């Protein structure tokens, strides 16, 4: 297996994995979406709410705000020594005290732990009119996207097979496929069409070029044909800001490794191997 990154910054990673099956690619995708823990607001104690939103709606909106998450700092509540009561080891506490007229943003949510603020400052929560007030305390805990989407660390996470573009000798360079391609992948060559260097992986496999070629009356087979490599996958992963995207990938891979090790242990128990 080979992994090559074409982009890796705090929020976005784009990489190609070569030599794996579709099952493996999908396992990695699902692990990144639903098995990487993050903080999200789970309980809200409302002291005052004279806004136009019900308490429940307000709490729901707060739950969806991504929070910076240091997983070395917080443990899931179920694994905490407080046995689910809630303590600083498993719970991040926030206060919100605002009065209108004002648009309330995520930055108005004040964290007790300065290392666990909202990931973005300008997420709008509600518009307050004159004399409307909200006073509350919110408690965030660690869980995974498997339990609820608010604990997903990714906002976008998907893959596609690596595109293969073949152009036959029948191509007369009419250029209809170039005009039709929405990704700007093709350009005019010498009497034919060719793929622009470095843009092949941008192809979305939409096959509009094939249709344009056929519409030009070339016959029953287009001169350009689109396929894909079944063992090469292009991933794009975007973090919601709760943690660097690199950490999301690493934690997803660790989850897969742990699960595989567990499975091997169970198999060894069943077959009696490794128990000596
Ligand atoms: S399949 Fe779509 S994106 Fe790819 S080259 Fe053809 S028209 Fe462009
Ligand atoms: S539409 Fe067909 S014939 Fe025309 S340039 Fe594209 S591949 Fe060649
Ligand atoms: Zn605790």
Has residue 115 been placed in a domain?
yes
Q: What is the pLDDT of residue 218?
A: 82
Has residue 142 been placed in a domain?
yes
Has residue 260 been placed in a domain?
no
Q: How far apart are CA 67 and CA 86, in angstroms?
A: 18
Has residue 263 been placed in a domain?
no
CB-ligand 1 contact for 212 (6 Å cutoff): no
Its pTM surpasses 0.85: yes
Chain-centre distance of CA 43, in angstroms?
A: 24
CB-ligand 2 contact for 226 (6 Å cutoff): no
Burial class (CB in 10 A: 0-12, 13-18, 19+), 245: buried
Distance from the alpha carbon of residue 226 to the mean position of ligand 1, in angstroms: 8
For the chain, how many structural domains are there in total?
2
Indicate if 216 and 175 belong to the same structural domain.
yes
Indicate if 53 and 89 belong to the same structural domain.
yes
Has residue 253 been placed in a domain?
no
CB-ligand 1 contact for 146 (6 Å cutoff): no
Has residue 49 been placed in a domain?
yes
Q: From 201, 208, 228, give the residue whose CB has the most ligand 1 atoms within 8 Å, as the site to mutate.
A: 208
Helix (H, G, I), strand (E, B) or coil at 30: helix
Has residue 272 been placed in a domain?
no
Helix (H, G, I), strand (E, B) or coil at 140: strand
Indicate if 29 and 55 belong to the same structural domain.
no
Q: What is the pLDDT of residue 272?
A: 79
Q: Of 129, 148, 167, which closes a domain?
A: 148
- Report the nearest atom of ligand 1 relative to the CA of 212: 7
Q: Which residues of the chain have pLDDT under 50?
A: 276
14 lies in which domain range?
Answer: 2-34+155-237
Indicate if 70 and 101 belong to the same structural domain.
yes
Indicate if 185 and 228 belong to the same structural domain.
yes
Q: What is the pLDDT of residue 274?
A: 57
Q: What is the pLDDT of residue 100?
A: 87
Structural Rg of the chain based on CA atoms: 25
CB-ligand 2 contact for 171 (6 Å cutoff): yes
Has residue 106 been placed in a domain?
yes
Q: Of 113, 148, 183, which closes a domain?
A: 148
CATH of the domain at 227: 3.30.1360.10
Indicate if 44 and 128 belong to the same structural domain.
yes
Say which DSSP state 134 is in: E
Say which DSSP state 216 is in: T
CATH of the domain at 123: 2.170.120.12
Q: Count of residues for the chain?
A: 276
Q: What is the pLDDT of residue 129?
A: 96
């Amino acid at each position: 297996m080979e992994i090559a990154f074409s982009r890796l910054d705090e929020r976005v990673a784009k990489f190609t994995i070569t030599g794996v099956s579709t099952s493996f690619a999908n396992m990695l995708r699902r692990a990144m979406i639903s098995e990487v823990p993050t903080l999200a607001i789970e309980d809200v104690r409302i002291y005052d709410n004279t806004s136009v939103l019900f308490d429940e709606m307000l709490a729901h909106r707060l739950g969806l705000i991504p929070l910076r998450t240091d997983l070395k700092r917080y443990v899931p509540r179920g694994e905490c020594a407080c046995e689910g009561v809630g303590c600083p080891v498993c719970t991040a506490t926030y206060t919100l005290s605002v009065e209108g007229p004002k648009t309330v943003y995520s930055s108005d949510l004040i964290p007790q732990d300065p290392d666990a603020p909202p990931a973005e400052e300008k997420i709008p929560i509600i518009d307050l009119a004159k004399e409307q007030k909200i006073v509350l305390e919110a408690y965030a805990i660690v869980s995974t996207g498997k339990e609820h989407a608010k604990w997903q660390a990714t906002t976008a996470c998907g893959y596609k097979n690596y595109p293969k573009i073949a152009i036959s000798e029948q191509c007369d360079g009419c250029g209809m496929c170039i005009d039709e391609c929405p990704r700007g992948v093709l350009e005019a060559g010498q009497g034919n069409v060719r793929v622009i260097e470095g843009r092949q992986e941008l192809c979305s496999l939409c096959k509009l070029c094939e249709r344009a070629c056929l519409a030009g009356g070339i016959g029953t087979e287009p001169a350009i044909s689109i396929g894909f490599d079944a063992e090469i996958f292009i991933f794009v992963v975007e973090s919601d800001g709760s943690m660097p995207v690199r950490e999301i990938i690493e934690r997803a891979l660790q989850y897969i490794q742990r699960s595989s090790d567990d499975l091997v242990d169970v198999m060894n128990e069943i077959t009696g191997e490794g128990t000596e």
